[in-house]
Structure 1
Amino acid sequence: MKLLKSPLLVLLTLAMLSVNAQKKNSAAKMDPEKSILKNTEDSGNHQLLMAAVHVSELETLLDGEAQFTVFAPSDANFDSSTKARITDLVLAKNKKEIQSILGYHIIAGKLTASRILKALCSGKGRATFTTISGDTLVATMKGLDIVLTDKYGQQSIITKADATQCNGVIHVIDSVSHIASKA
């Protein structure tokens, strides 16, 4: 058991157990045979996000065959100022800005929580991922939580991991920091 002597490895092992518990909670609500778009529409918890997806014309991307990872805030995770900002952008049909915001929450490829944890282990507690908008998200650990930090220093925590879709994976996050930071 020499591997468990590393404090980082012990922390990552505990985090993996936590992620597996989160996976059981989130995966039951999603149909792995459906696309990211269809499951998100059907969830009933992502109406604001879906309104933005429709205005941004990213439906084809999220309903296609290519694999993506989406860090999706539920409606409950939008604070009042962020809700107002997204609502204004949707009503104004500001496609370019909404695409920028949504692109910040999407990574090409299927990035499961275990892959994030492996990258954290390889990166000695830090991993960087490039979004489809070309920005970076930095993953770190805080206790048992995977924390994502944007270029503005705003942070989101993955609260439900690994909702498998036929074209990728969704991780529910607890905030919409990138939108708030652009306000």
Structure 2
Amino acid sequence: MKRTSIKAPLIASLLTLALFGGLAEAASMSMDHDSVTVGGQSMLPSKDIIDNAVNSADHTTLVTAVKAAGLVSTLKGQGPFTVFAPVNAAFAALPAGTVDNLLKPENKGTLSHILTYHVVAGKLDMAELAKRIKAGGGKTELTTVAGGKLWAMMNGPHNIVIKDEKGTTADITTYDVMQSNGVIQVIDKVLLPKG
């Protein structure tokens, strides 16, 4: 009897550990596969920025521009990158003919500069942006891959806005779209560098 009573707690402990370990693994797997819906499609954290963006109906103009600028391989790279990704409506709000003009082969350099102005090295999720804004006394300066500056600021207690060098302010409309090589923050305006 004594032997059974020693084994029973041991077996119960092992079962508890196995069960807890299994639940922890299942929870971890669930977290790894959490996705955000953007443009009617799930953005899977296991895919890279390009593989997710091409599925978003809200980012067809951005994807076309990225392809025309020759930036596909860059944004499929290891990163990590934070991409402030304007929706189609943001591009449509630019002066008539702007997008068509930028997509011309002779304007590839300008287009590339504008697009890389929307990219910051590192993985800046909402929590990290908010932390930097607080540490900066209400604003934080970000250096883009293009070498320009953007500023992140709070707009109310739960909304972050991004300001470009021309003074345009874009709202982040969908936060923390996690990617295998970074994060996408969806914005409602196209950001433009000075000059």
Alignment correspondent of 1:81: 94
CA contact (8 A) 2:69 2:108 kept: yes
Measured in 2, the distance between the counterparts of 1:25 and 1:83 equals: 30
The count of residues paired between Structure 1 and Structure 2 equals: 159
Partner of 1:32: 45
Task: Name the SS of the counterpart of 1:42 in structure 2.
Answer: coil
Q: State the Cα deviation string for residues 92-135 of structure 1 (Å, max 9, x = none).
A: 45110001100110001111111000001111111111000111
Alignment correspondent of 2:111 = 98
Report if aligned partners of 1:112, 1:162 keep a CA contact under 8 Å in 2: yes
Q: 2:36·2:42 contact (CA, 8 Å) conserved in 1?
A: no
146-155 vs 160-169, which moves further: 146-155
2:36 touches 2:44 (CA, 8 Å); kept in 1? no
Is contact 2:171–2:189 with CA below 8 Å preserved after alignment? Answer: yes
Which structure has more relative contact order (CA 8 Å, sep 6+)? It is: 1
Q: 2:172 aligns with which of 142, 158, 162?
A: 158
Q: CA deviation at 1:82?
A: 4.5
The corresponding residue for 2:64 is 51
Q: By how many angstroms is 1:83 displaced?
A: 6.3
3-state SS of the aligned residue for 2:94? helix
SS of the residue 1:46 aligns to? helix
* Cα distance change, pair 98–31 in 1 and its aligned pair in 2 (3 A): same
Aligned residues with identical type, % of pairs: 37
Answer whether contact 1:72 1:173 (CA < 8 A) is retained. yes
Structure 1 stretches of 5 or more lacking a match? 1-22
Aligned-residue CA RMSD (Å): 2.2
**2:149 aligned to 136, 139, 159, which one?**
136
Using the TM superposition, give the Cα deviation of residue 89 of structure 1 relative to its aligned residue in structure 2, in angstroms: 1.4
Would the alpha carbon gap of residues 79 and 44 (structure 1) be closer, same or farther in structure 2, given more than 3 Å must change?
closer
Q: Which residue of 2 aligns with 1:62?
A: 75
Moved more, 131-140 or 74-83: 74-83
User: Is structure 2 residue 130 aligned with structure 1 residue 117?
Assistant: yes
Tell me the distance in 1 between the aligned counterparts of 2:66 and 2:36.
Answer: 26
Task: Structure 2 unaligned segments of length 5 or more: list them.
Answer: 1-34
Report the equivalent of 1:6: none
Contact 1:25-1:160 at 8 Å conserved across structures: no
